[in-house]
Structures are given as structure tokens and as C-alpha cells.
Amino acid sequence: MKEFSPEQISILSSFVENDRFSTGQSNRELHTHDISPHQGLLPAGIIWPVDTDEVARILSFSYAQGIPVTPWGAGTSTEGNPVPTRGGLVMDMIRMDKIIEIRPGDLQADVQPGVLRKELNRQTGKYGLFFPVDPGADASIGGMIANNASGVQTVKYGATKDYVMKLTIVLPRGNIIHTGCRASKSSSGYDLTRLFVGSEGTLGVVTEATLKLAGIPSHHLAATINFKDLESASAAVAVLMGSGLEPAALELLPPGLIKLMNREKKLNIPEVPSLFCEFHGISKTTLQETADLAKELCEDCGATGFKYGIEEKDRKELWRARHEAWETIHRAHPKKETLIVDAAVPISRYPDMIVFSQNLVDEHEANGYVFGHAGDGNLHVVLAGDPGDQAEWSTLEKINHAIVEKAIDLGGTCTGEHGVGIGKRKFMQLEHGESYQLMRQIKELIDPKGLLNPGKIFM
């Protein structure tokens, strides 16, 4: 669909205030891409709802008219998850940004999907609470739910799915349903909440969510641990995870990326394979004992350096640099785009995965950086190249394919946290086999016309 008819424009405009519907070229172009290299098809219009009833009216009309609808959050996706593939209408949720209620006694918050993660934590922090899922980007809660986002603290706190208790969802034809409850547990029927978390807006649009919160830890301890090679560093990951020390974050960084971080942030970190580790606890004494044991375990694995007791300012700067790794790589390769490989494997196979991926990058002499959330077996490889150079980009795609196929062969997944979107559709059959067909059947049952976020998850 390229353009709306005058009648469609008139009706869609009537659903919202004047400034919340646009067919302007600039607004449409802004919604054709996220931070990934995937380019979408120009939508016919953008609409900004502010409540559940508006979303229901918009979807009901669009479904009757056969208009594809693509939900949009903060646009921080790396796999084209919110990019329109068939034009139509983009439903931008960012103005649904109310924190409806914070209930400290229940450790819960009710929010609309446009609430940004950092703002939620600013408000919940007043009660000594936080939403622990940290993907790095200041993503919208709705986008995080759609993608089942995770990040550096997943190893201790879990992913988004572990914090979503209740949802209000508008289905493709405009009917409104509620899933889950506010109780801390339930064994009542199918877990529909989990069905919608991670469905990337292909089954329904989340308009309200009840989230579980956690207490802000009273003490932090960060450590940088150096190794002679990536294999030793990744082998130490399994030892640390099996030790019962429960790190809150455990990141693996290669020398090349540390060099870029040092250059930009002046961190002065040794440019060797390293683990960035953080522990949370109730006292400095407890954390000191934890650090001493972690040091001993890592030295047994060949660690050449172990620094802890990092000052709060330096700790925050270190993590800020890690969160900005993609931007740092992007700036280091001007006029290049990045292809981000996101796969995950069992912890015991992480060393195999790291060595395989680094060898592959070296073999093809590609601009590639192998790192990741080592504590939960999540591997990232950021590859930089020119999509306009067919030979160069084809090489990067080959590396991507080989790494993903290796991860699946080792009992892992094609995407640890970035979602399927456009980029990972081609691997779904390989990973899921017959259960992929069941996913299709669920999609067809809920959205027979295939109008809600089309072109995602399924080819």
C-alpha cells in the first residue's frame, strides 16, 4: 500500500487529535528504518495513539480496510523489528508514556508501552526499586516486551519475560484482552502473557503492562579481569557461573574493542582479552569475599590481571563505554554499516563459540568484534562493511550465517536478545523445526489476514 485514499485519511484523522496523525513525507521516512541496516517500505501514514480505546478503533478500522499496521517503539531495534515491510500504517506508541501507578508494597508498576526504561527507573528509584532489564539503549517498555529484551544484567536478574505480570493487549481486529494477574504466581490455564512477550507485535499491540520490580542493591563491586587469549577468558566464564558467586553482569570484551573504548573514553584498560564483571550484595564485606574467590578462580583459569574495588564514577564510565560499544564501533568505521550477529549457546559451549567466531572473522579478514554477555552464553559479533559493496557485504553475511548455524548446532539459538525481526527470519525453520509451523498456525489464528507487523518472524 503506497498511499491512503482521502476517505481513509479522513477516518484515521478522526480517531486522534490533529497533531497525532501524519501523511507528511519526513515523518514517513523517519519510520522506514531503525538502527539496523534493514530498510523498510515507506508507510502511507503515521499515527500516535494515547490510550487503549484509540488503539482498538485504529486496529478495527485498519483490519476492515486491509491496511497493514506496524507498531513502533523507540526505534532502537537491531533486526528491523519495527520497520514496515508493506507500507500501510505505522502506529507509533511513544506518546503512550504514562507511568500509571507504582506500588512499592507489591514491588510493581503499571505502565503504558511508550514509557522509556530510564524514566521508569528514575521514578521507581524514589522508592528504592528498579526495573532490572538493561539492554543498554533507552528502549521503550512496549518495545522491550515485544522483543523480550535482556542485556548485561540478565545473568542475575533475567529477561523482560521474567518481569511482565499482566498485559492489556489489542488484537489485530480491535478486540481488547487482558492476560495474567498481579499475584506473584498463578497456575491458571495457558500462559498467554508469555505468548505475547517476544511476539514482536505480530499477534497484538500491548497498551498497558504490570511489571515486577526489584530492590536497588545497596552495594556494587566491579572488576576487570585480563587474560592472554579469548579462549582462556571464555573458559573462566563457565567456572565463575558454576561457582555460586552469582555475578550481576559478566561481559567478555576483545582487545580490538577495548582499544576503541580506550581511545574514545580514555579508560586506560589493558588491551587484552578481558572480562568485565559486577557483583551486587548487602555489604562491602560480603562483596570483598566474593571478589577474593572470583580472583582465585580466574587465576586458576590463567588470568593475568584482576582489578576490583573500582570507584563508583569509574564503574559507571566503564559500563557506559560497554553500553556504547555499537556506537563506538560505528564511529570507528565511517561510511560503513554494521551487521550485528546475536546468538546464544549453553555456557559450556561458550568457549567453542568464541574461538570459532574469532577464527572466522580473522580468516575472512573482516572488520569484526567478538564480544557478548558471557554470563548467559550470549555472543555478539559486530561486523562493519559497505552494503553497497556486494562482495564485502556478502562476506559479512556468510560470517553471520556460519556463526548462527554453529550456535544452533551447539544447542543454542539464532537470537539471544535482539529478536527475529527481518534479519533472523531465515534461521527460524532451522532452529525450531516442526514447532515453527505451530507458530505460523497461532499467527494465522489470531491474525488471519496477516496485517499486524507483517514480514517479521515469518518469511
As a whole number, mean pLDDT of residues 217-225 equals 93
382 sits in which H/E element = strand 378-385
What pLDDT was estimated at residue 459? 83
Please give the pLDDT value at position 318: 86
Q: Which three cell numbers stand for residue 424?
A: 533472523
pLDDT, tens digit (0-9, with 9 covering 90-100), for 321-354? 888 898 999 999 999 999 999 999 999 999 999 9
Q: What is the mean pLDDT of the chain?
A: 95
pLDDT of residue 315: 86
Query: How many Å apart are CA 350 and CA 236, to the nearest integer?
Result: 10
The domain defined by 6-95 folds into 3.30.43
Q: What is the pLDDT of residue 316?
A: 86
Give one DSSP letter per residue of 3-19, joined into a string: ---HHHHHHHHHTS-GG
Helix (H) / strand (E) containing 224:
strand 219-226
At 210 the three-state DSSP class reads: strand
Q: What pLDDT score does 314 carry?
A: 83
**C-alpha cell read off for 298:** 580466574
pLDDT surpassing 80 at residue 310: no
- Is the pTM higher than 0.85? The answer reads yes
Q: Which fold would CATH assign to domain 99-215?
A: 3.30.465
Rounded-to-integer distance, Cα 210 and Cα 276, Å: 32
Q: pLDDT tens for residues 61-81?
A: 999 999 999 999 999 898 999
What phi, psi does 202 have (nearest 5°)? -90, -15
Amino acid at position 380, single letter: H
Q: What is the pLDDT of residue 392?
A: 96
Rounded to 5 degrees, φ, ψ at 158 are 95, -175
- Tell me: domain 219-325, CATH 3.40.50.720, correct? no
Q: What single letter denotes the amino acid at residue 71?
A: P
pLDDT the model gives residue 308: 86
Q: Say whether pLDDT at 1 is over 80.
A: no
Mean pLDDT confidence for 305-332: 88
Kindly state the average pLDDT of the residues 404-415: 98
How confident is residue 114, by pLDDT bands cut at 50, 70 and 90? very high
Average pLDDT rounded to a whole number, residues 410-429: 96
Mean pLDDT calculated for residue range 276-297 = 93
Alpha carbon distance 156, 119 (integer Å): 22
Q: Do domains 219-325 and 333-424 have the same CATH topology?
A: yes
Can you give the pLDDT at residue 430? 97
Would you list the domain boundaries of the chain? 6-95, 99-215, 219-325, 333-424
Q: What are the helix (H) ranges across 66-136?
A: 117-124
Contact 219, 283 (CB under 8 A): yes
Half-sphere exposure of 188 (CA within 13 A, CB side): 9
List the CATH code of the domain at 333-424: 3.30.70.2740
pLDDT of residue 267: 87
> If you write DSSP's letter for every residue of 204-247 in order, what string do you get?
-EEEEEEEE-EEPPSEEEEEEEE-SSHHHHHHHHHHHHTTT---
60: enclosing H helix or E strand: helix 52-65
- Using the predicted structure, report yes or no on whether residue 320 has a pLDDT greater than 90: no
26-51: per-residue pLDDT in tens? 999 999 998 888 889 999 999 999 99
Q: What are phi and psi of 109, to 5 degrees?
A: -140, 140
